[in-house]
Amino acid sequence: MVLDNLGDSLKKTIKKIANAVYVDSKLVKEVVRDIQRALLQSDVNVKLVLDLSKKIEQRALEEKPPLGMSNREHVIRIVYDELVHLLGESRELPIKKQIIMMVGLYGQGKTTTCGKLANYFKRKGLRPGLIAGDIHRPAAYEQLQQIAEKVEVPFYGNKNAKDAVQVINEGLERFKRTCDVIIVDTSGRHKLEDDLIKEMKDIFQAVKPDEKLLVMDAAMGQQAAPQAEAFNNAIGITGIILTKLDGTAKGGGALSAASVVHAPILFVGTGEHITDFEVFEPSGFISRLLGMGDIKSLIEKAEETLRDKSAERTAKRLMSGKFDMNDMYEQLNMISGMGPLSKLSEMLPVGFSSRLKSQDMEATQEKMKRFRVIIDSMTEAERKNPEIIKSSRIKRISRGAGVEHKDVKELLRYYEMTKRMIQGFSSDRKLRRNLMRQFQIK
């Protein structure tokens, strides 16, 4: 299938987010780089890739997750949102009386798609009719005629026609009262040449179609965007149909075409048969590409193991009575949304956990964030042994963190208090036994 490689890379990236211990700027930058690489390798338009990655990075670093959503889910959500956005708006062809003109280069799948589209409207209860407007390729007439027979819809064409506009006008006249959806096939060329553009414009002016659909092979590559733009400039595209999605092409080029000309992708062709045809829906498509169906369970599982791991680690530290700034940092992370230490806090003595809680309440999110920034500015020696932090170090750290001296002192006080509590707690023998049992620590 087209875009299999892109899907694989993106799924890997999503897993990376779900399994990350911390969602920090390092992870976000890594993820953005991964996505950039994956999209470029799939031939997605370079400018689009740059815009998209800038957007993802900015949102992931600046936006706070909504209530009840973890940091991981939030970043995954942003990646998903922006990829859906890349594909442009979602639109369905109206189920009503209309004239549809199909355009595209030679061999892209126009004639085949005329049949697929006729079948689609027939199933919706409308009466489609097909007009052979490709007068240049000798076999085009028979090809569309056979397709019309297969779908069992009326067909109009003239094997010896010299003028596309004339044939099409005759067809329109013929189907005026008997058909609801008139689908006009047109000729393509190997390249977009002036005479093709002129013919397209002539047809467009004579027919005044409701829809002008560009049919594009998913294998188009980086050429797709400029091609689509040229068609759009000539007659104004109202929608795109991507064909041959059952192939193994990279596909990103054709996908970018939609974004470049601001026309929605309406359908995709997934094979040579009339029924190998699906309505395209950007969000569903991206969900499948990212493996979104699995994402929720993936995140839940990852968070459970993370929670267990950090709870176990903390439990061990607590029992040993050791507690330094690194532990403090971890605790701050857990308190400020990295997932609650629920398992551990259930086992804590009442006084201990409620004291912890009331301190959480006092210390606002902002303060937690400031504390973490301050710890970031410490050397490893200072983190391991915070007792050495005296006035000259306080000065340096506060400068590094961009805070005032009193903020560093406040963190040190908070640290001392927490440490005292933990040491008191580690000497509680009953609690130690309980913890050891819980985590099967020998």
Binding region for ligand GDP (CB under 6 A): 104, 106-112, 188, 215, 243-244, 246, 269-272, 276
- Smallest gap from Cβ 106 to ligand GDP, in A, equals 5
Q: Residue 112 binds which one of Mg ion, ligand GDP, none, with CB within 5 to 8 A depending on kind?
A: ligand GDP
Cβ at position 246, least distance to ligand GDP in Å? 5
Instruction: Give which of Mg ion, ligand GDP, none residue 272 binds (C-beta under 5 to 8 Å, depending on kind).
Output: ligand GDP
CB of 220 to ligand GDP, least distance (A): 12
- Residue 324 near which of ligand GDP, Mg ion, none (CB within 5-8 Å, type-dependent): none
Site for Mg ion in 104-123 (CB under 5 A): 110-111
Distance of closest approach, residue 245 Cβ to ligand GDP, in angstroms: 6
Which residue is nearest to ligand GDP, using beta carbons? 269
Our CB check for ligand GDP shows the closer of 225 and 241 to be: 241
Pick from ligand GDP, Mg ion, none: which does 244 bind, CB < 5 to 8 A by kind?
ligand GDP
Binding residues among 323-362 for Mg ion as defined by CB under 5 A = none
The structure tokens listed for 404 are: 């005032």
What distance in Å separates the CA atoms of residue 186 and residue 198, rounded to the nearest whole number?
Answer: 12
- Smallest separation, CB 104 to ligand GDP (Å): 5
Nearest distance from residue 112's CB to ligand GDP, in Å?
3
Q: Give 111 or 238: the residue with its C-beta nearer to Mg ion.
A: 111
When the beta carbons of 248 and 354 are compared against ligand GDP, the nearer one is 248
For residues 272 and 404, which CB has a smaller minimum distance to ligand GDP in the complex?
A: 272
For ligand GDP, which is the closer residue by CB, 7 or 133? 133
Interior/surface letters 212-233, b for 16+ CB within 10 angstroms, e for the rest:
bbbbbbbbbbeebbebbeebbe
Q: What does the angle CA 93 – CA 200 – CA 263 come to, to the nearest 5 degrees?
A: 35
CB of 108 to Mg ion, least distance (A): 8
In the complex with ligand GDP, which residue's Cβ is closer, 157 or 386?
157
Query: What's the min distance (Å) between Cβ of 138 and Mg ion?
Result: 11
Q: Which is nearer to Mg ion, 57 or 134 (CB)?
A: 134
Partner that binds at residue 259, options Mg ion, ligand GDP, none, CB closer than 5 to 8 Å by kind: none
Q: What is the 3-state secondary structure (H, E, C) of the chain?
A: CCCHHHHHHHHHHHHHHHHCCCCCHHHHHHHHHHHHHHHHHCCCCHHHHHHHHHHHHHHHHHCCCCCCCCHHHHHHHHHHHHHHHHCCCCCCCCCCCEEEEEECCCCCCHHHHHHHHHHHHHHCCCCEEEEEECCCCHHHHHHHHHHHHHHCCCEECCCCCCCHHHHHHHHHHHHCCCCCEEEEEECCCCCCCHHHHHHHHHHHHHHCCCEEEEEEEHHHHHHHHHHHHHHHHHHCCCEEEEECCCCCCCCHHHHHHHHHHCCCEEEEECCCCCCCEEECCHHHHHHHHHCHHHHHHHHHHHHHHHHHHHHHHHHHHHHHCCCCHHHHHHHHHHHCCCCCCHHHHHHCCHHHHHHHHHHHHHCCHHHHHHHHHHHHCCCHHHHHCHHHCCHHHHHHHHHHHCCCHHHHHHHHHHHHHHHHHHHHHHCCHHHHHHHHHHHCCC
Residues 33-92 that bind Mg ion (CB under 5 A): none
Q: Does 243 contact Mg ion by CB under 5 A?
A: no
370 touches Mg ion by CB under 5 A = no
CB nearer ligand GDP, residue 247 or residue 349: 247
Q: How near is the Cβ of 189 to ligand GDP at its closest, in Å?
A: 10
> Residue 214 binds which one of Mg ion, ligand GDP, none, with CB within 5 to 8 A depending on kind?
none
- Quick check: 212 binds Mg ion (CB under 5 A)? no
* Cα–Cα distance, 422 to 44 (Å, whole number): 54
Q: Which does 253 bind (CB under 5 to 8 A by kind): ligand GDP, Mg ion, none?
A: none
Give contact residues for Mg ion (rule: CB under 5 A): 110-111
